[in-house]
Amino acid sequence: MIALGADHGGLQLKEAIKKYLESENIECKDFGTFDETSVDYAPIAAKVAHCVANGEAESGILCCGTGIGMSIAANKVKGIRASVCSDAYCTEMTRRHNNANILCMGGRVIDEAKAVEFAKIFLQTEFEGGRHQRRLDEIAAIERGEL
């Protein structure tokens, strides 16, 4: 299951991604927002991040105006590696090398077609492990206050 969330600035991207996921029979849970009324992004990011962190969802996708606010908020949840991506290469590498579990994108940065393309890449790309796992272990040590 994929957890989805957006504020008003990312609503159109989220809706395009949701339509794609449903067309591929990929289960998703939509944490909102559901219209273009201005809404704060942090509570939505928190809901998606907790859903991913507690294992209810395999991964998450968050959208706001730039993706930056959503990523900052989501990364406050222990175990979350949320990454803002605005090109295909970074989207692939955030999975291969960083094992990101939440993709963040901006509705004022990319269009709906790119958002769907990046969602596909994110969901289909595997983590390489190896030397990259050591680096993730170091990030976890930072979370624990050990580094």
Q: What CATH number has the domain bearing residue 21?
A: 3.40.1400.10
CA angle at 127 for the pair 121 and 130, rounded to the nearest 5°: 150
* Whole-number Å distance between alpha carbons of 107 and 10: 5
Point out the residues that are catalytic.
64, 97
Task: List Cβ<8 Å contacts ≥24 apart for 138-147.
Answer: 139/81, 143/78, 143/79
Over residues 20-40, the mean pLDDT reads: 97
Helices (H), the chain: 11-23, 42-53, 68-74, 88-96, 112-124, 131-143
pLDDT for 111 equals 98
pLDDT for 47 equals 98
Query: pLDDT band at 99, cuts 50/70/90?
Result: very high
Q: Report how far apart, in Å, the C-alpha atoms of 82 and of each of 38, 75, 97 are.
A: 23, 6, 13
Choose among 39, 40, 64, 46: nearest CA to 3.
46
Query: pLDDT band at 33, cuts 50/70/90?
Result: very high
Domain count for the chain, please give it. 1
Query: pLDDT band at 104, cuts 50/70/90?
Result: very high
pLDDT in tens, 2-22: 999 999 999 999 999 999 999
Could you give the percent of the chain with pLDDT greater than 90? 99
Token pair listed for 8: 């008003």
In this structure, are residues 17 and 114 in contact, taking their beta carbons and an 8 Å threshold?
Answer: no
Residue 117: domain span? 2-143
pLDDT in tens, 41-85: 999 999 999 999 999 999 999 999 999 999 999 999 999 999 999
